Amino acid sequence: MNIIILIPVFNDFKSTSKLIEEIDINITDLDASFSIIVINDASTEEKTLEMNNLNNIKSLKLINMRKNRGHARCIAAGLKYISENEEFDCVIPMDGDGEDRPEEIKNFLERIKTNPNRSIVGERVKRSEGTIFKICYFIHKLITYTFTGKFIKFGNFTCLSKETVKKLINEKATWSSFSGSLVKIEQNLTKSPSIRGPRYFGPSKMSFLNLVKHSLAIIAVFKSAVIFRSIAFYALYLIIIADYINIITAIPLALIIIFGITILKISGRENLTEFNNSLLNIQRIDKLI
């Protein structure tokens, strides 16, 4: 079995280097061939991968992008590159900071044996962030479920079958939200418990603003459901406050309208033409192993 691990990175090569070393250690006894592709999303800082004693990784490529496109689009371009240029059975996207734990790769392989044609998601059962972030993340999941009917408890750490990769690169939503697109195209995803690990170096780059953007991008994938539910909520609330309409009670109505407009605007990020042309953004490919 040929497995490619896809790692997007932006100004965090120290963590990515350690991650690759940890992957190499954790795949020692696994019955599969592993390659790694790192997508450098136009980093402005040190761009050198420094690893020692890699014994189990078959190949390692560093794809350098000309312009920064963001995390989701970096993964999308990586999937497109792999689909068009590599031989593979599965792709495992991983964040490059250590929060996706290499020791859990073996759990994916165990589930592949019983579900060989289904993609696997690392469903979060425990997180390492602070209390405030956990509360915000819970609110994100609650809002997503309320407006889309989808309860998404995973991030980028997944194990994608070849068939799923093909579907993803033909779905415009992948260009905006990886996890949202995956839920949209695949109805039967296998779940594998996953613990969010601590970053290897430095603080988390997932700020509150980035979390909001991430949440809205996922919700926008299901904009039809969002608009339908928003109209239903609007109508129901209007009936409830019919005899008590004033400036205060009208605030939720305004918020629903603003929310719907925001989702429609964000959904405009889903551009299949840009996605199809994403490999034109590659500046150079370095084969390190």
- Per-residue pLDDT tens over the stretch 188-231: 899 999 998 888 987 766 666 777 888 899 999 999 999 999 99
Where is pLDDT greater, at 252 or 157? Answer: 157
Question: What digits encode the pLDDT tens for the residues 66-81?
Answer: 999 999 999 999 999 9
- How far is Cα 253 from Cα 240, in angstroms, rounded to an integer? 12
Question: What digits encode the pLDDT tens for the residues 19-49?
Answer: 999 999 999 999 999 999 999 999 998 778 8
Q: Which of 93, 91, 98 is nearest to 22 (CA)?
A: 98
Can you tell me which residue has the tokens 């040929």? 2
* Strands 2-9 and 90-93, bridge-based pairing: parallel
First to last CA, the chain: 19
Joined together, the tokens standing for residue 138 give 């819970």
